[in-house]
Amino acid sequence: MHQPFFDDLRTLMYPSALLHTFGVNGKVSGSVGAAGEIGGGVVVILHGPRGCGFHYRHSARRRHQPFYPLLCSDLTEREIICGGADALRRTVSEAWDRYRPALILIVPTPVSDILNEDIRAVAEASRTQGIRVAAVQSELFSHRDKNYSRTRVRELARQKITGDNRLELELKGCGFTEVLWALVEQVMEPQPPLPRSVNIETVGWGSEGTLVLKEIGSFLGQCGITVHCWIPSAPLELLITAPAARLNLVKRVRWARRMKERFGTDYLHLGGAGRYTGLEGIALFYRDIGEKLGLLDEMEPLIATETEKALAQTETARRTLADYRCALVCRGLQTAPLRLKLYASLGLPISHICLILTPEMRREMALTPELEAQLMDRIQDAAGLYAGGSPILLNPGEAELREVFAVVDAVVGTGDVTLEGLGAPLIPAMSETVSLSFESYVRNVFRLCDRLSARTARDELILNRMPFQTRHYPLYDGSESLWAKEMWERMWLYRKENVQ
């Protein structure tokens, strides 16, 4: 929330798909990232050997912004064998004496997880001495649930294209979520309810995320709704009072469910099943907030006014976009319906749909023929709703791609540079996540219009001379990253299939 420049840096340099699979990472990185969002006076203690403390100051998503108030219990070999509770208690006391922080957050490492150290007991004992300590409890040892992506694909296949039925999946083992859970359990306190108020989870909004959050807060303010707390990007004293709000707007559902159980705070999950895609989706987002707070009738005229304003501001640009013919290219089968819905809302006609589904993708997602058929039916439905029934090509070869690209103005939906030089300019996907402000919709329309008007076929890119492995784009043939991916898949995805 504090530094808008880093929105794109986090989104583009540290893509979520890499960080949550075979990238050099771990859930400690997510925990340190969450702690770094809390406004001042927080010290993190990593319960493990000293190497953990050094590495995670510069962990993924925070290499641009190291988290300096990070200590380590510095477990020795003897303590690793016999137990490290005494070392942790000593480190908590040292941190308190040295910094007098507003909060000490104890984060487990793989070593303390293997030892099954009871860090919650150490935190509770420290609180009896007047030291505010919270301990993050590991839900899964091996980072996030490795079956999450497969489970999500199965659930997504059953979702309506319009997003009328909601997709709410709990994600265990995410370090970021585990910190939020710890804040709910050990930091937040019961509060008198604050009418017409919401909390908003701040991390995971993609490109322009900070700006969009401010715009959401501004519109809610016009509706007489106060943003009480930005979670976790708020001072600790405000996080303590977070249960005062009537509603949580969340990206990660697990901690929000726990907060509802403990304090009765309702939540609205902003999932990625397409419910809030496009201008109609943005309006629906605010209607859902109004319904949750019992303010829908009061908010409806304001929502209608902002919707009409956005349509009026983009009328000329949308007429310009309507004159183009574009091909949509997607890797995998999950995102195509959402992309079709988004481009239809922006006013861009999609004349061809090209899907790339490699054998590796099928295996990673555990796609059975029945599940693949369900996903393809979903894409067919989306094509009928949002693309006039445009033809769908599954795994087209280079000759087919050249034939399609020859009759379109541009290729959208992908940043795959291996498609450059095949006969049509490439317009990369505009944003990583759905933006939920009316102003962001206007910017997206104008941005797409500008990119198409300045489109250029780039036949001689230096990138085209690099040995990308097209089945594992954007990895290189023979690269360490490709080997890391193979090793990760064998250890985590395929171990139950007896693959060696």
CA distance 54 to 73: 12
Residue 171 lies in a domain: no
Cα dihedral 84, 85, 90, 91 in deg (nearest 10): 70
Residue that is last in its domain, among 147, 176, 207 = 147
**Type of residue found at 65:** Q
Task: Looking at the structure, tell me whether residues 305 and 193 fall in a common domain.
Answer: yes
**Domain's final residue, options 90, 117, 147:** 147
DSSP 32-57: HHHHHHSBS-EEEEEES-HHHHHHGG
Domain that holds residue 481: 467-493
**For the domain that residue 337 is a member of, what is the CATH number?**
3.40.50.1980
> Does 142 lie in the same domain as 87?
yes
Q: Are residues 483 and 402 both part of a single domain?
A: no
What is the pLDDT confidence band of residue 173, given thresholds at 50, 70 and 90?
A: confident
Largest pairwise CA distance in the chain:
73
User: Higher-confidence residue: 485 or 300?
Assistant: 300
- Co-location of 143 and 81 in the same domain: yes
330 and 310 within one domain:
no
Answer yes or no: do 347 and 215 share one domain. Answer: no
In a domain, residue 178? The reply is: no
Same domain, 200 and 292: yes
What single-letter amino acid sits at 495? R
Does residue 159 lie in a domain region?
no
- The verdict on 409 and 487 lying in the same domain is no
CA distances from 383 to 134, 153, 303 (A): 49, 19, 28
pLDDT in tens, 311-355: 999 999 999 999 999 999 998 898 899 899 999 999 999 999 999
Count of the separate structural domains present in the chain? 4
Please check whether residues 59 and 106 belong to one and the same domain: yes
- Would 94 be classed as within a structural domain? yes
Q: Is residue 302 part of a domain?
A: yes
249 and 324 part of one domain: no
Residues 202 and 142 reside in one and the same domain: no
The better pLDDT of the pair 139, 419 is held by 419
459 and 322 both lie in a single domain: yes
> In the predicted model, is pLDDT for residue 432 greater than 90?
no
Mean pLDDT, the chain, whole residue set: 85
In a domain, 176, yes or no: no
Q: Give the count of beta carbons closer than 10 Å to the beta carbon of residue 383.
A: 21
Q: What is the pLDDT of residue 144?
A: 60
